[in-house]
Structure 1
Amino acid sequence: MSMLVVFLLLWGVTWGPVTEAAIFYETQPSLWAESESLLKPSANVTLTCQARLETPDFQLFKNGVAQEPVHLDSPAIKHQFLLTGDTQGRYRCRSGLSTGWTQLSKLLELTGPKSLPAPWLSMTPVSWVSPGLNTTAVCRGGLRGVTFLLRREGDHEFLEVPEAQEDVEATFPVHQPGNYSCSYRTDGEGALSEPSATVTIEELAAPPPPVLMHRGESSQVLHPGNKVTLTCVAPLSGVDFQLRRGEKELLVPRSSTSPDRVFFHLNAVALGDGGHYPCRYRLHDNQNAWSGDSAPVELILSDETLPAP
């Protein structure tokens, strides 16, 4: 998971559930190559490492080996590294944080003048299509100013995107299942790059179920008055969660430290609270299509008294 800077905000009222909401800021930098001639992308290459927050510190990695860190006189949002000599290799970069360094950028590979390196294809927010879910294919190359193309296995035509002058990636809406790959080219009639690895998109009638956990265990013997926290984890971020006991929705306090999960707090369980608890989720913009239920967590309560003889 990408490194995230998290700020927690607390709101609520004393008579109702209290919710902690987390705001997440992505800190992973971006890395791309710029060349004086896109027709000869290996000539006079400059690598640009762009941070998410201004920083005076940048560092480049080549083939897994850290290069000398750069410390600027004043904070900047990006820094350029001029490559000399043999520029072929696999590159990443990182930028400074107040607590150290960010995680590394995504991989950028330079292959030399004879071929263009393959781009990377990913799906967001998930690698499936279902009613109410907007799935997007993201094709990321290493050069600015190229034209991206997406292809589904079995189709004869590419879905083409105009020249991406200000970015090194392009997005495509995906509405059908299948096996997808993407490529790019440096001019309108130029040769295509190597294709990306294939990504398979499935079609699902409903989002797959989340996972519900209680301290990593599926069942637990509890005593009246115990506090219980159930964690519901979805396979995507930005969803609405629901906890139930049987068919009854439970409006209990909740909190979150990550956009793909929520913590349900049962602050003082009673003997009547035993039973099976499933959770589920739905997309923010689809108020009808719930996911399947998670495997339930069973809460077993005991007051340690023995039945009368």
Structure 2
Amino acid sequence: MSSLVSFLLLWGLTLGPVTEAAVFVETRPSLSAESESLLEPWANVMLTCQAHLPTLVFQLFKDGVSQELVQLDSPAIKHQFLLTGGTQGLYRCSAGLGRGWTQLSNLMEVTGPTPPPPPVLRPQRDYTGILHPGDSPTLLCVAPLSGVDFQLRRGGKELLVPSSSSSPDRVFFHLTALALGDSGPYTCRYRLRDQQDAWSGDSTPVELTLSDEKLPPPRLSAEPAGRSPEPGTLVRLRCQAPLVGLRFALVREDEGGRRVRSLLSPAGAEAQFELRSVSVADSANYSCVYVDPEPPFSGSAPSARVELRVPGPPPRPRLRALWSGPVTPGRDAVLRCEGHLPDVTVELLRVGDTEAAHLDRISATQSSTDLVLTYVGPQHAGNYSCRYRSWWPNRFESDLSDPVELLVAGH
């Protein structure tokens, strides 16, 4: 069932008071939804009206108005209504009961077009930022759906490269013997296998920079000068080259090697990189390189290092719930941890639990991360916080965020 067809369950009390003289039977039908396409969940939606007793008639309502009355040839316990075209709206159904009708079913909201979430593309540990001709890095593409086809692209063009899969929702792309002209932004996308043209949006690009180190190194300087900037300040790193029309990369060193921090393509002979509101997590050795975007695509040796060591604790994250009110049992509850730094591990913990009892842990590359509690039940009720930590290039751990309370409906 598509997560993009939202279920708004407004259950009322349908049973009267129970007495010794009478037994009341639930007659109100239930309404549920399925979509024929996970990539276009609004296009063809099947609503199932499930009755409690066999009946010959079913009726569907949309936005308070009767849409379809179905008369069956033989009694049935349920009926399916196929929605096509403009399916957005609020739906209920009812079923025949004697000479009348049951109460209306629960309320079902069918949403309109929402693009499928893009996949995530990230390099494996054999890629450390600056590559050399002949290197063979591996990129991992992870989709939010299973059973899909993947495509790797560079600059919007499909690349036919060897791939392997470890599970239905991810694939490894093995780039073999790269040449200097293979530098650039790489993205991936996915589609359901029975929908040839319904591609998702592209992932956030992963930039591959190749250098043969034949060109002279640039010069890197920091503003303000000094190796220990104050926490929360802006640090500018200026990379200056002896040529013009180049593509520059700022490189941060860690224990796994060198990794590209960011890239610029200025028209002049220098590039300026900004580290905003620096914290202890920005403490590292930095260098820069440049490459020629025109053939023969040569690149420079790295500049001399600039060392930054920022004192103090890392900034505290913020946690917020991506739902409102009590969570319906059986649903997933998503909490977004914001304000942390890229390239850290983010953890969700229940307030009062020990470190070993973390509920979700994600290696994050962006400044916010969604943490998921799956199939919520009454046992999940409580207060939650998030934190992030890093083991390199220097070890640190943030304080816990302010707590967010999770309530479970009916409990």
Q: Normalising TM by the smaller chain, what interval?
A: 0.3 to 0.5
TM-score (norm 2): 0.36
Higher relative contact order (CA 8 A, sep 6+): 1
- Asked which structure has the greater CA Rg, the reply is 2
Q: How high is the TM-score relative to the length of structure 1?
A: 0.46
